[in-house]
Structure 1
Amino acid sequence: MQKMTINRSIAPKFHLVEKLNFPEYEILPINSSTSLYSLKAGTQPVIRLDLVFEAGLTQQLKSAEASFAASMLSEGTSLLNAKTLAESLDYFGSYFQTRSNPDDAVATLYCLEKHLRNCLPLFIQAITDSIFPEKELDIQKKNSLQKLLVSEKKNNYLCRKAFYKTVLGETHPYASFSNKEDIQQINRDSLVNFYQQNYLAGLKYALLSGSFSDATKAIIQEGLNQSGLKKHSGKTNFIGAEPNIGKHFIEKNDSVQSAIRIGKVSIPRSHDDFRKLQFLNLIFGGYFGSRLMKNIREDKGLTYGIYSVLEPFQKASVWYIDSEINTKNREQGITEIYKELKNIRESLIPIEEFETARNYYLGSFLRGLDGPFSLADRLKIIIDNNLPNSYYPDFVSILNRTNPKELQELANKYFTEENIVEVVVGKK
C-alpha cells in the first residue's frame, strides 16, 4: 500500500468562507406564555438546558440583588441542603450553574441525556424551591466584601466602574456596581421577594441544546409545564444613557500604572451597521494584529496590552478602548490612541491589512460556532435581540461584500471624538 506524503514546505490552499448554514431549531410550547427552543447538534449524548429569567440588572431595585439571588439558587431547598443537592447531581455526572447578566439571569443544567429523568426534577426543585438560607447568605456576603476589597485596590476595576457610570449615567442599570454598603444591606427578605417576582414569575424561555431525542424534549416540556414557573410582563427599570462627556481623572497616588478607558455609547446589535462596525473595531483594536497593538505595544512599547471593544447589551451598546500604561508614558499613550482614531478616519485601510483581518475574523467566527453549546449561545443572541434567523448566515456575505471605503465611512460616523468619554485612574 502506497503511503501518502505531505510536502510541509508548501502551505495548504486558502479558501475564503462564502457560505454559512446555521442549524434549524424548533420552538415548542411549555405553557400558554413560555416556549422551549430546541437546537439539536453534536454527536455526544450530552445536553444543556438553559432557563432564562427576567432577573438581570435591569430588574433589580437594589444594587447587588440580581447577582446574590442568582448565586443563592444553588444553596439548598426545603428538602435538600446545598451539599446534598450538589452530590445528588454529581452522582449522575451532572451539575448546574447560574449567572446574572445585565439583561437576564440564566440557570443551566448539564447532564447526560440518559440521566435527564433523574436530574431534571433536582434542577427544577433547586429553581422553584430555593430557601436562601441565612448561614450561606452570610458566607456569600463575606466573600463578596473580601473580593470587593481586593478589586477596589486595582486601577482597572476603578476605571471600568467610573467609565460605565460616566458613559451611561450614575443610575443606569448597566452601570450598577455594588459598594460595601450595598452588600452589607442585602438581606434574605429582599432576595426572596426578588426571587418570587423574577424567577418564579419571570421565566422568559428555555433553551435545549445537544444531542437528544424527541422523548427528551417531551420530558422537559412536561417538567417545566408542571414546575409552576411563569412569565411576567417583562417590565424593567431601564433608563436611557446620560453620558457625562469629557475627560475624567481619578487620582490614585500609589499607582505605577495608569488605567485608561476611552469610549462612547454606540449602536445596538439590531442596527444595519453593527456587523460591519464589529469588523472595523477588529482592525482598530479587536485582535493581536490590530492597529492599537501594533503601534502602542509593538512599535512604541508603551503597554503590554491594549484593545478596543464593541460591547452590545440588549438595549444599548458601548464602544471603548482599554489599556494600562506606565504613568510616565500615559500622555504619550493617550496621544497615540487619538492619533490612531484620526488615521482610521482619514486614510483607507490597505487591502493587505483588510484581507488579513477579514480572514482572521471569519476563522474566529467559525470557531465560535464549533459545538452544540456554542451554537446555543448564538441562538440565545438571536432570541434576546429579536434578530432574523438569517442573522449569522448573512454575516458571512456582509463581511465578504464589505470594502475599505465602507469601513472608512463607518469610522467617520462612529469613531469620531464627538460625545467621547475619557477616564484615567492613576498617579498625577
Structure 2
Amino acid sequence: MTAPVTHRTADEIGRTTQGPRPLPPLGEQRAAADPLTLDTVLPNGLRVLAVHRPAVPMVELRLRIPFAGEEATHSARAELLSTTVLTGTRRRGRVQVDTDLARVGGELDAVVDPERLSIGGSALVEGMDVLFDVLADVLTGATYPDDEVRRERERLVERIAVARSQPRVIAREALQRHRYGDHPFTREMPGAEEVARVTAEEVRELHARAVLPRGSVLVLVGDIDPQRAVDSVAAALHGWTADRSAVELPPLPEVPGGDLLLVHRPGAVQSQIRLSAPYVPRTDPAYPALQLANLVFGGYFSSRLVENIREDKGYTYSAQSYPEFTPGGATVLVDADTASEATAPAVLETRYEIARMTVVPPTESEVDSARRYAVGGLLTSTASQAGLASMLAALAGLGLGPEWLREHPGRLQRVTVDEVAEAALRFFTPDRWTGVLVGDADRLARPLGALGGVRLP
C-alpha cells in the first residue's frame, strides 16, 4: 500500500529538528575572466566601449549624451526632442526608420533626464551595420517633422497633466526641491504648459546645439568582434562632429540634514515618506562597506526597516532604501507609502531604525546575508547582454569602466563586519537626514507636530 504524500511548506522545508537549515558559505569571489573588450575614443570625441559577450547573436547599444541645460524651457524642449528624435530623418521617414530596424530584428528608443539624452536598442549581429546606419542618420539628420512634433506635444501635455496628480510624482518633485532648490537637476518633468509652447523649430535648434559626440559614451555588448564593431561605428558616425563638448550637469549642492517638510495634499488617505542623506560615490573606499550597511538597514526584503514597518507593524506594503548617484556625489533615499493614520508612527519607527544602525551595529549574520544579496544581485543583473550594457553605460557616465564591475564582488567579500559597523556609525547618524512627507496636513499636522522635527505648512 502506497503511503500518502505529505506536502511540506517552504518554512518546514527550511527547518530541521535542530533549527533553521544553515546556508552554505559564500564561495570565494574570484575576478571574472576579462571579456574581449575595446575602450577607445573616436576622432569626433565619442568614447566607444565594445564588449564581446556571446550569449545570443545580438548586439545591445547604449548611447549616453550629456544633455544639461540652464534655461527654464530646456526640460520641455528636451522631453519633446526625446519623443520625436526617431520620427524621421533627411533620408528616412518614420515608417522607414521602423522598417529598416525591424528588418534586422532591431529597435531603438530614446529617453531624457536632467543629465543625459539616452538612446538604446538592439539588433541581430548580422544587422549591426544597419543599426549603426539608422543611429547615425538620427544623430546627424533628424528632421522633427511639424506634424510629428505636434502629435507628440499633445500626447505629452496630457500625460504630464495626469502624472502631476500622482502621489509618487508629487513626492519626488517635493523632495528634489527640498534637497536642491532650483538646481537644473530638479527639472525631471517639465510643466504641461511649457511643453504646449514648444515648437518644432525650437526642437531642431536644440538638437543642433546639444546632440554632440564629444563627451558622450557609446556602449556595445554582444556576440561581436570589438574591433570590427568599433570600426563600423567609426565609419557610420564619421559625419557626427562638433567643435565643442556636450553639456554636463553642474555639481549638486550637498544635502544638509534637518527637519522633514510636510507637503499638504488635501484629502489624501495615504502619505508618502521620502527621507534622504549624503552617501558616497562608487569610487569611494567606503562604498563597499556602506553598500552592505544600507542593505542591512533597508536595501532588501530581509532588512531591519522592512522587518519593522512592514512585517512587524504593517504600516506599509513596501519600504526600501537605495542609493542615487548624482553629478559629483551620491545620496541615499528611503521610500515608503503609508495610510494617513500610520504616517507618524511609521516616521517614528524609521527614525528609530536609522538611529539603531549607529548604536546596534550590524551582526555577522546580517552582514553575511547582505553580502550574498549584493553579490548575487550584481551577477544576476549583468548576466544578460542587455543588463551588462545598461550597467556599463551607467558606470561610464560616472567615469568607471568594466574593471570596476569585475572587481566589485571581491571588494564586497573582503569587507569586514567591523568596517560595515564603522560605515553605519559614520553615515546613519540621525542629524544627517532630511526629507519630505506628502499627505493631508489637516490629518497629519497634530501627530507630526507632537513627534517633532517636521516643518508644517
Partner in structure 1 of residue 451 of structure 2: none
Structure 1 distance, partners of 2:130, 2:71, is 32
Matches within 5 A, 1:89-108: 89-108=101-120
Post-superposition offset of 1:366: 1.1
Q: Please, which moves more after superposition, 246-255 or 101-110? A: 101-110
Partner in structure 2 of residue 51 of structure 1: 63
SS at match of 1:19: coil
Partner amino acid for 2:189? F
Alignment counterpart, residue 193 of structure 2, candidates 159, 181, 185: 181
Post-superposition offset of 1:20: 2.8
Structure 2 distance, partners of 1:59, 1:271, is 33
Matches within 5 A, 1:289-304: 289-304=302-317
The answer to whether the 8 Å contact 1:78/1:129 transfers is: yes
Q: Gaps spanning 5+ residues in structure 2: where? A: 1-12, 15-20, 442-457
Structure 1 distance, partners of 2:25, 2:430, is 38
Matched, 1:146 2:158: yes
SS at match of 1:424: strand
SS at match of 1:33: coil
Q: Please, which moves more after superposition, 16-25 or 188-197? A: 16-25
RMSD across aligned C-alpha pairs, in angstroms? 2.6
Change over 3 Å in CA distance of 1:80–1:38 after alignment to 2:
same
Structure 2 distance, partners of 1:355, 1:250, is 39
Partner in structure 1 of residue 147 of structure 2: 135
Matched, 1:373 2:378: no
Matched, 1:323 2:319: no
Q: Deviations 1:387-408 (Å, cap 9, x if unpaired)?
A: 3654233322222222232222
Partner amino acid for 1:413? R
Alignment counterpart, residue 284 of structure 1, candidates 297, 300, 312: 297
Partner in structure 2 of residue 416 of structure 1: 429
The answer to whether the 8 Å contact 1:20/1:392 transfers is: no
Q: Deviations 1:2-23 (Å, cap 9, x if unpaired)?
A: xxxxxxx898955424213153
SS at match of 2:122: strand
Post-superposition offset of 1:128: 1.4
Partner in structure 2 of residue 81 of structure 1: 93
Change over 3 Å in CA distance of 1:79–1:233 after alignment to 2:
closer
SS at match of 1:228: coil
Structure 2 distance, partners of 1:59, 1:369, is 37
SS at match of 1:212: coil
Partner in structure 2 of residue 265 of structure 1: 278
The alignment of Structure 1 onto Structure 2 pairs a total of residues equal to 419
Matched, 1:427 2:440: yes
Change over 3 Å in CA distance of 1:192–1:287 after alignment to 2:
same
Q: Deviations 1:83-104 (Å, cap 9, x if unpaired)?
A: 2321222122211111224422
Q: Deviations 1:41-73 (Å, cap 9, x if unpaired)?
A: 123221123333222567986222322222211
SS at match of 2:211: helix
Structure 2 distance, partners of 1:382, 1:58, is 25
Change over 3 Å in CA distance of 1:23–1:252 after alignment to 2:
same
Structure 2 distance, partners of 1:29, 1:350, is 46
Q: Gaps spanning 5+ residues in structure 1: where? A: 1-8
Partner in structure 1 of residue 231 of structure 2: 218
Matched, 1:18 2:29: yes
Partner amino acid for 2:154? K
The answer to whether the 8 Å contact 1:57/1:176 transfers is: no
Change over 3 Å in CA distance of 1:41–1:231 after alignment to 2:
farther
Partner in structure 2 of residue 40 of structure 1: 52
Post-superposition offset of 1:175: 4.7
Structure 1 distance, partners of 2:249, 2:375, is 37
Structure 1 distance, partners of 2:263, 2:228, is 58
Matches within 5 A, 1:313-392: 313-387=326-400, 390-392=403-405
Matched, 1:199 2:215: no
Q: Please, which moves more after superposition, 128-137 or 374-383? A: 374-383
Structure 2 distance, partners of 1:360, 1:349, is 15
Change over 3 Å in CA distance of 1:393–1:237 after alignment to 2:
closer
The answer to whether the 8 Å contact 1:52/1:104 transfers is: yes
